[in-house]
Amino acid sequence: MTDSPKQKTLKTSTQVKYLKGVGDRRAAMLARLGIFTVGDLIYFFPRAYDDRSKTVTIAEAVDGETNVIRATVCMPVTEHKIRKGMTIYKTKVTDGFMLMNLTFFNNKYVKDMLKEGEEYVFAGKVQIRSYTAEMTSPTFEKAESGERIRPVYRQTEGLNSKALEKLMLTALDCAELPDALPVSLREAYCLMPLEKALRNMHEPENEDMLLEAKRRLIFEELLMLQIGLMRLKSKNSKTTACVIPGDFTADFFSLLPFELTNAQKRAVSDCVENMKLTSPMNRLLQGDVGSGKTAVAAALVYNAAKNGWQSALMAPTEVLAQQHYKTFLKFFENTDIKVELLTGSTPASEKKAIKNRLLTGEADFAVGTHALIQKDVEFKKLGLVITDEQHRFGVNQRTALNEKGEQPHTLVMSATPIPRTLALIIYSDLDLSVLDEMPKGRQKIETYAVDSGKRERAYGYVKKHLVEGRQGYIVCPLIEESEEQELISAHELYKNLSDGFFRGFSVGLLHGRMKADEKRAVMNEFAAGNIQLLVSTTVIEVGIDVPNAVIMVIENAERFGLSQLHQLRGRIGRGEHKSTCVLISDAQNEDAVHRLKVMCSTSDGFKIADEDLKQRGPGDFFGSRQHGLPDLKIADMMTDTDILRETRTAAQKMLKENPALEGEDYRGLRAKINEMFSKAMN
């Protein structure tokens, strides 16, 4: 690493094409990797590192894995034209004991670069076939300089890892990289300066330095995330005029056909207490599928209405809004609470009347979809805003509904189980109530994984239940590549089943491309028991509640993620009858087999979420796509929990001492936090 001061001429916000060695053509390639600015480039971290200080001999190489081998080229590289557009290059190398074959595809530079008699360090996947070792397309470099930890980047056509490495070093030399962390903080937590950390990410001096570099960058990212969230929370804790002082929930409980669980009672009372205050409630209600979040919402709506306040509930889909509407009508049938339904498919004339009733205060409660956040929807006195299955809404959409009132109380309901400590941090802008107890009398859903050879038997089992008066679901294979294909396969499955195995039964079809009123008609028929068997794509995933449906068959179950399977399965086991879920899959793949095993062994949403995180990684889980949170570039909230805790304390301390983060020391941090959050929140 050089210490000689270089002329820093570029900013991290500069377009990457202005970097020496890039230009328009390469800029286009970089764009494919999501790199547009010099900063994007510098923060494009290696996906792995080859530790070339840890070489093995050819004899020690592990079949099928990436090995690093120090060896001498023992013949000139030969060229073989296989077919048009495909040339392979071959040579042999030796470590003094054994020979190893090297093969490269379409890489004519290899011919000039690998010289007979010279020693190199090769890193790549080794295949061992009857005592011959072979390495295909390894990366390599001269042995003298090779004993370092080398970065491995995700490549794109035209730009390999090595080319990226070269660009990184240029970028690090040319870009101004002001350190956002105040020196005092860096000293207190032993964090290396930013530039040194970035350099060590791309060109590690040794393993320790690499670890320190990572720690420093993770620390910064998690610190910014938490400061940002904490400030959001303090911004949200303004005062509100929506004080809801009375507690009438006991009256409501007495109207219910069941006794609330203790967890439900606790959640209701958390909220009621919260809404008595002059600071608006901002709360997450987290509960596994079937834990009874809707009843909690109903109690709060009831209470708000009895205190003279209106409420609104927003659901992510028409089907769900429709279903909620019906549920609430039932909850409120012996009360004077007036419920309205407002969705995209509400006829215009009706819409007008509904909006009018909301505006005059004649209606107490609006259930709906995004239609609720349209400009012309106004309330007389909106005191409580509830969003269901919040991971489907961005933060901005939540906010839009809030703006219909003056700082109304908000409740966000989510079935995504997140370990409690983690939830507290991630949602540090929200208070948390957890429904960690299922309603009494719920039976475990028996779950079996079978191969397609047992499909007929599974269907036979479904039939038996239908004959007994129960209902069931058959979930079509998920086809991620093409929605069109998925649609075709859903139609085919439906046709085959209704004309074939289930002839004589009433079979329905539900898929995402159906119009809202078609979906609703099918759901109504299913809920009424007129459809016995519903063939469906994953549109049933969220929130559908038909207690008489007790059997579900999921086709090609390996294509679904764990959380998705859990959500799907949550559609059954909702009533008094024992429920069964059959997962059909021929997958041999280890991950898939494991997923199915997890599903068969537990129905605990928290356990399943943990497994899901382990398999998929948190990127998917906590990505801004789902939670409206900023994307994290380097930190991993599941595994970096120590740093997460450390930064939480640091953030609290900083905000306590300097709530507005004033002063020159904090300028960099302020700017970076704003940048991080402006991207995620708009």
Q: Which residue is nearest to ligand ADP (CB)?
A: 292
Nearer to ligand ADP, 91 or 567 (CB): 567
Nearer to ligand ADP, 46 or 543 (CB): 543
Distance of CA 622 to the CA centre of its chain: 4
- The answer to whether residue 618 forms part of the interface with Mg ion (CB under 5 A) is no
Helices (H), 404-515: 420-426, 455-467, 483-499
Q: What angle do CA 222, 226, 227 make, to 5 degrees?
A: 115
Report d(CA 54, CA 61) in Å as an integer.
12
Torsional class of 85: left (φ above 0), alpha (ψ -120 to 50), beta (otherwise): left
Nearer to ligand ADP, 261 or 346 (CB): 261
Return the structure tokens found at 165.
């490495």
- Residues forming a β-bridge with 103: 90, 136
Please state, as a whole number, how many other Cβ atoms lie within 10 Å of the Cβ of residue 16: 22
- The answer to whether residue 294 forms part of the interface with ligand ADP (CB under 6 A) is yes
Q: Report how many residues bind Mg ion under the rule CB under 5 A.
A: 1
Report d(CA 61, CA 67) in Å as an integer.
6
Nearer to Mg ion, 413 or 430 (CB): 413
Distance of CA 555 to the CA centre of its chain: 23
- The answer to whether residue 387 forms part of the interface with ligand ADP (CB under 6 A) is no
- Interaction residues for ligand ADP, span 572-601 (CB under 6 A): 574
Q: Report how many residues bind ligand ADP under the rule CB under 6 A.
A: 18
Torsion from C-alpha of 565, 570, 573, 575, nearest 10 degrees:
-160
- The answer to whether residue 290 forms part of the interface with ligand ADP (CB under 6 A) is yes
Contacting residue, 226, 274, 291, 567, with ligand ADP by CB under 6 A: 291
- The answer to whether residue 105 forms part of the interface with ligand ADP (CB under 6 A) is no
Nearer to Mg ion, 91 or 410 (CB): 410
Binding mask 394-423 for ligand ADP (x = CB under 6 A): ---------------------x--------
Which option in ligand ADP, Mg ion, none does residue 260 bind, with CB closer than 5 to 8 A by kind? ligand ADP
Which option in Mg ion, ligand ADP, none does residue 291 bind, with CB closer than 5 to 8 A by kind? ligand ADP
- Nearest CA to 599 out of 453, 444, 407, 376 is that of 444
Report d(CA 551, CA 304) in Å as an integer.
38
- The answer to whether residue 267 forms part of the interface with ligand ADP (CB under 6 A) is no
Q: In this structure, what DSSP letter does residue 52 have?
A: T
Task: Give residues with Cβ within 8 angstroms of 9, minimum separation 6.
Answer: 174
- Interaction residues for ligand ADP, span 202-261 (CB under 6 A): 258, 260-261
Burial 31-63 (b: 16+ CB within 10 A, else e): eebebebbbbbbebbbeeebbbeebeebeebee
CB of 563 to ligand ADP, least distance (A): 14
CB of 369 to ligand ADP, least distance (A): 17
- The answer to whether residue 264 forms part of the interface with ligand ADP (CB under 6 A) is yes
Task: Give residues with Cβ within 8 angstroms of 291, minimum separation 6.
Answer: 261, 263, 264, 435, 436, 437, 438, 439
Nearer to ligand ADP, 175 or 544 (CB): 544
Nearer to ligand ADP, 340 or 388 (CB): 388
- Interaction residues for ligand ADP, span 539-578 (CB under 6 A): 543, 545, 547, 574
CB of 311 to Mg ion, least distance (A): 16
Which option in Mg ion, ligand ADP, none does residue 545 bind, with CB closer than 5 to 8 A by kind? ligand ADP
- The answer to whether residue 292 forms part of the interface with ligand ADP (CB under 6 A) is yes
Nearer to Mg ion, 290 or 628 (CB): 290
Contacting residue, 46, 151, 368, 543, with Mg ion by CB under 5 A: 543
Burial 223-247 (b: 16+ CB within 10 A, else e): bbbbbbbbbbeeebeeebebbbeeb
Amino acid at 267: A
* Residues contributing to the site for ligand ADP (CB under 6 A): 258, 260-261, 264, 287, 289-295, 415, 439, 543, 545, 547, 574
* Residues contributing to the site for Mg ion (CB under 5 A): 543
